[in-house]
Structures are given as C-alpha cells and as structure tokens.
Structure 1
Amino acid sequence: MAHSTTPSMTPASRKIIHVDCDCFYAAVEMRDDPSLRGRPVAVGGDPHRRGVIATCNYPARQFGVHSAMASSQALRRCPELVIVPPNFDKYRKVSAQIHDIFRRYTSLIEPLSLDEAFLDVSASEQFDNSATRIAQALRQDVRREVAITVSAGVAPNKFLAKVASDWRKPDGLFVIPPARVEEFVAALPVNKISGVGRVTGERMAGLNLKTCGDLQQLSRLELGQHFGSFGERLYHLCRGEDSRPIQTGRRRKSVSVERTYDKDQLTLTDWLRELEGLIEKLKERFAKLDQHYLISG
C-alpha cells in the first residue's frame, strides 16, 4: 500500500501542526561552520558555472537574494555573500533526525520535503492533548538536539496550519484556534491561498479581490466563472475549510533530471546528444523508485 490517511478523525476535530525548518540547508551549514554565523550565506551552485541558489539565510534575503536565483546575480546583489555547495546526504541525515523527534509526538506525519511536514496530533495524549504545547515541545527538542530552528503553525486543518507556520518566521509559533478561524480568514490576503500564483493573483486584483473576505462575497458559480475548476476549491479555502487528511506515505508524483551547462549547446545535434545521457539518468531514477515502492508498499 503506497499511503495511508488519518484514521477516524473528522475534519472539524483535527489538530494539525505544520513544521517548517528556517532556511534549512543554510542553517545546517551555519551550524557546522561557526565562521558563517552572522554573515549572508547561501547554498547553491558555482556562480562562474551558471549555478543557482537553492536557499539562503535571512541576512542574504535582506539584499534580495532568494532561491532559484542565478548565483552570479545573487553575488551582484550581495558581494559579501558566501555561497556553500550543497551536501544533500548531510541534509537528509539531519531531516531524518528531525522526523525521529516528530515521531515522539505522533505517528501521523506527512512529509512535504526534507525541511517541512504536517503532523496530526488530534489523538495525542501528551500535554493533555494541547497541540500548542506539543508544537512548543518539538520546537525545543529540535533546537536542543539538532541545533537549528523550526517554525510551526497550529490549526484545525492543513491549509491554515501551513499559513500559520509562515506567520512568525523565523523561529516562530503561531496558533489559529477553531474559534478564531472565521475572523482570521476574513482578513487573510488572497496571495496566502495555496494555488494562487501570479496569473490568478493578477486576475483577482483586477476584480478588486484582496482578501478571503472579498472572495466569500462571490458564489460558487461566480468563482467557477472567474477561476474555472479552481473556483470550487477557492470557495472552501477562503472560508478556512480544508478536509484533506494527513497522508503518512506520499508516492512521488513526478521524476526529473537536470543539468546546468558551462557553455551553450549551439546545434540541435548537440542537444540531442546530451538528451540521451539525461534519459538514461531518468530511467535509473525510475528504477530506484520502483524498487522503493516494491519494498515499502
């Protein structure tokens, strides 16, 4: 079986924590190299070989550096930026340590990436079933044992918990209790809704829809007319409704390979030659995934 979901718990009674490590890769590198602390730091590729920034710390973000930015552009914005090459084996080990801490509090964990996860603590007997106190405890455990910080959001569902975890970053905790959902969501900017990207955001701005409260004024039919199939989901999210359960096993939905080239490939023949190698790497990744699910399924 590829995955399982939260058992016998109704959406209205769930207690969900979203945990998000603060600038994870950079935080691990600063932990392991004290000379980096207090300096603008990014983890990414070589700026002289078309490298790209994977993540950066908050001092670097003050200069406008962000993930997916070309390393060379990041250095132009922040000449003092220290770019550290990524070490994904190390990051995976640190992530495993953090997940071991999560399991002290619940077995219902949905990993989203190496540095973030949803936890369902609805049935936890620890701390008198206080999700807020559980979130405080696991944050303290991570700080003490792993020596990095995490931010957490506590709410009745996944959508709101993820919004909450970002509310007081870095090293923050924000709680949206059920009694405050209606008030909180009414004032929530529409760009905080997952799935609202640049194009949808511009369409909403054109309709003078700035908050979830504004969206609530539109009927299901009107939302569908303006936003297509996304309209139905918007109807629920703008009211703070999200019935998705925790999935404790997530089968990967996509697989890709990539390579950054030092020099441009000038002809179609050159590109086709490179494509053959990338396809072989992609086949190898598919094979590894199949083996993983045969073993764990």
Structure 2
Amino acid sequence: MNERKIIHIDMDAFYASVEQRDNPELRGRPVAVGHAERRGVVAAASYEARRYGVRSAMSSQKAKRICPELIFVNGRMDVYKSVSQSIHDIFHEYTDIIEPISLDEAFLDVTVNKPGIELGVDIAREIKRKIRERLNLVASAGVSYNKFLAKIASDYRKPDGLCTIHPSQALDFIAKLPIEDFWGVGPVTAGKMHSMGIH
C-alpha cells in the first residue's frame, strides 16, 4: 500500500488578509479584526501587526498599547465563510477526503487523488498557486504521512510556507523542535513540561 499523503493547508492571517485584500488602504499596515473598545478582543491580526506582538485573543487595549498604529476593522463572518467555501472548492479538485479544523485550515488526504499526481508536495504547490491566483490570498502548506506532522510542517515556514516531512526525516525533525511548537501544546502545557525537564 502507498505511504499516506496528508496535506495541511493553513491560510496566512486569514481574516486580516481578506480585509487587506478587499480594502487597498489597509495593505501593508498593521490590522486587527475585532472591536477596539475597552472590553474588545483581537480576533485576528495581520503579519504587520504580529511584528509588534499583536496576537489573536489579546485584549484590544493591550494590542493598541504595543502597536499604537493598529487599525481595527469589524469582522465579516459571512465573507470569510464564502471565501472558505471557495478554498474548499479548490481542495475538492484533488480529493473529497477533507477534514476542516476551522474556516481557514483543513487536512486533505491525497494518498489517492483525482488528478493522479504522485507527490503530495506537487499537489500542495498547486493548491497554494490556485488560492493565490483565484482568491488573491496566501496559504501555507505542510505535507507528511500523518496529520500531526503535516500540521507542524505547515507552521514551519509561515507565511507562504511549503514544507515536507518525509518518513525518514520525521524523528530527527521532531527531536529538534521545541515542545511549544508541538500541535496542541499551549503556554500552560509548555510550562508544565518545562518544569518536568521536557523542552
């Protein structure tokens, strides 16, 4: 049987990128999707905002403190859902075995794929190209033989990343990763692991 070929596609700064795409005045500027008022929270941040340390789930007040130039825009969930559907239409050109994680990321099993392309990395490259050409948005992709490694691979070279972790490289690749880069390990879990000497 063929080695499984799993692709993880992750849209780069999805909500903020859609807003920058649709409003030229926002391009190249630090943008946060969310509400600027005192109790507001950042739902998504552009890469320009992330350079200042702005992150999703951060309070709007803190975000404005660390990035005074930050521009807040209200989210348009109906638009994001529509764009997400267009992205999934591209996925379906290659496989119907799709596991969405959220509007902006999904796993694709392309072990057996509709065009009959041999290498998963070639499919990932085509999907990234079609998303850019048709939707004017940027995605990162990771390719491996299971979901855990494909997810780690897609995060490895963001934004606009493409990374493959081959079976022969997997153990060495993981051995060099800090534990906080593992999928599902957040700051609290990482802290506990560090206290146990796991880094």
Residue 19 (structure 2) pairs with residue 29 (structure 1): yes
Q: TM-score scaled to structure 2, two decimals?
A: 0.94
Distance 1:73 1:198, change over 3 A: closer
**Which amino acid in the other structure matches residue 130 of structure 1?**
L
The residue aligned with 1:177 is 166
SS at match of 1:111: strand
**Which amino acid in the other structure matches residue 80 of structure 1?**
E
Question: Retained in 1: the 8 A contact 2:117–2:123?
Answer: no
The residue aligned with 1:42 is 32
More strand by share: 2
Rg larger in structure:
1
Identity of aligned residues (%): 51
Q: Structure 1: which 5+ runs fail to align?
A: 1-9, 211-297
Q: Distance in 2 between the 1:116 and 1:173 partners? A: 14
Q: Structure 2: which 5+ runs fail to align?
A: none
**Which amino acid in the other structure matches residue 156 of structure 1?**
Y
Q: Distance in 2 between the 1:176 and 1:49 partners? A: 43
Pairing of 1:1-297 with structure 2 (within 5 A): 13-45=3-35, 47-124=36-113, 126=115, 128-210=117-199
Q: Distance in 2 between the 1:186 and 1:50 partners? A: 41
More helix by share: 1
Q: TM-score scaled to structure 1, two decimals?
A: 0.64
Q: Distance in 2 between the 1:70 and 1:201 partners? A: 22
Cα RMSD (Å): 1.5
Question: Retained in 2: the 8 A contact 1:41–1:84?
Answer: yes
1:47-77, Cα deviation, whole Å (9 max, x unpaired): 2352111001111011111111121221121
**Which amino acid in the other structure matches residue 180 of structure 1?**
Q
SS at match of 1:178: coil
**Which amino acid in the other structure matches residue 31 of structure 2?**
V
Distance 1:187 1:123, change over 3 A: same
